[in-house]
Amino acid sequence: MARIIDAPLTSAPEGSCDPRSVHGTWGALDAAARRGLAFTPEVKAKTDHLYEKVKHVIPAVEWPAYAPLIAAINEMKAAKNAVILAHNYMTSEIFHCVGDFRGDSLQLAREAAETDAAVIVQAGVHFMAETSKILAPDKTVLIPDLRAGCSLAASITGADVRLIKARYPGVPVVTYVNTSADVKAESDVCCTSSNAAAVVEWAAREWQTDRVILLPDEFLAKNVATQTGIRIISWHGRCEVHERFSAEDIAELRAAHPGIVVLAHPECPPDVMAASDFAGSTAALQDYVVEKRPGKVVLLTECSMSDNVAMAAPDVDFIRPCNLCPHMKRITLEGIYDALANMQHEVTIPEDVRARAEHAIQRMLDLPKEKPRAFETGRAPVAVELV
Give the separation between CA 309 and CA 293, rounded to whole angstroms: 11
Q: Quick check: 152 binds ligand SF4 (CB under 6 A)?
A: yes
Instruction: List helix spans (H) across the chain.
Output: 31-34, 41-54, 63-80, 92-95, 105-114, 126-135, 158-167, 181-185, 196-207, 218-228, 247-256, 270-275, 282-292, 304-310, 333-342, 351-366
In the complex, what is the shortest distance from the CB of residue 75 to ligand SF4, in angstroms, rounded to a whole number?
A: 29
164 binds ligand SF4 (CB under 6 A): no
Residue number, 140 or 151, with CB nearest to ligand SF4: 151
Q: Residue 262 interacts with ligand SF4 (CB under 6 A)?
A: no
- Answer whether 155's CB lies under 8 Å from 236's CB: yes
Count of residues engaged in binding ligand SF4, rule: CB under 6 A: 12
If one asks whether residue 261 binds ligand SF4 (CB under 6 A), the answer comes out as no
- The type of residue at 280 is G
Q: Is the dihedral of CA 241, 247, 249, 255 positive or negative?
A: positive
Contacting ligand SF4 (CB under 6 A), which of 325, 331, 374, 382? 325
Residue 61: count other Cβ atoms within 10 Å of its Cβ. 8
Instruction: Output the smallest distance, CB 251 to ligand SF4, in A.
Output: 24
Cα gap 315→187, rounded to integer Å: 43
What's the angle, vertex CA 367, arms to CA 178 and CA 376, rounded to 5?
65
Please, what is the end-to-end C-alpha distance for the chain in angstroms?
A: 32
Q: Min. distance of Cβ 143 from ligand SF4 in angstroms?
A: 13
Pick from 67, 150, 230, 273: which binds ligand SF4 (CB under 6 A)?
150
Contact 203, 212 (CB under 8 A): yes
Among 327, 329, 363, 373, binds ligand SF4 (CB under 6 A): 327
194 near ligand SF4 (CB under 6 A)? no
Distance of closest approach, residue 193 Cβ to ligand SF4, in angstroms: 9
| Min dist. Cβ of residue 5 to ligand SF4 (A) | 9
Q: Which stretch binds ligand SF4 (CB under 6 A): 95-103, 110-118, 150-158, 361-369?
A: 150-158
If one asks whether residue 85 binds ligand SF4 (CB under 6 A), the answer comes out as no
Nearer to ligand SF4 among residue 149 and residue 381 (C-beta): 149
From the number of C-beta atoms within 10 Å of its C-beta (0-12, 13-18, 19+), residue 308 rates as: buried
360 binds ligand SF4 (CB under 6 A): no
Closer to ligand SF4 by CB, 72 or 183: give it.
183
Angle formed by the axes of helices 126-135 and 105-114, to 10°? 30
Per-residue x/- track, 100-129, ligand SF4 (CB under 6 A):
-------------------------x----
Q: Which of 43, 161, 328, 336 binds ligand SF4 (CB under 6 A)?
A: 328
Q: From edge to edge, which strands make up the β-sheet containing 82-87?
A: 101-103, 82-87, 119-123, 140-142
The correct pick among 54, 156, 189, 241 for binding ligand SF4 (CB under 6 A) is: 241
CA pair distance 3, 310, nearest whole angstrom:
20
| Stretch of residues binding ligand SF4 (CB under 6 A), selected from 164-172, 195-203, 238-246, 272-280 | 238-246
User: For residues 21 and 282, which CB has a smaller minimum distance to ligand SF4 in the complex?
Assistant: 282
Stretch 13-42 residues interacting with ligand SF4 (CB under 6 A): none
Q: 374 Cβ partners below 8 Å, 6+ apart?
A: 278, 279, 280, 284, 288
Site for ligand SF4 in 198-227 (CB under 6 A): none
Q: Taking CB under 6 A as the rule, does residue 302 contact ligand SF4?
A: yes
- Tell me the C-alpha distance between 8 and 96, whole Å: 25
- Considering the rule CB under 6 A, would residue 178 count as an interface residue with ligand SF4? yes
For the chain, the C-alpha Rg in angstroms (whole number) is 21
Contact set with ligand SF4 (CB under 6 A): 125, 150-152, 178, 239-241, 302, 325, 327-328
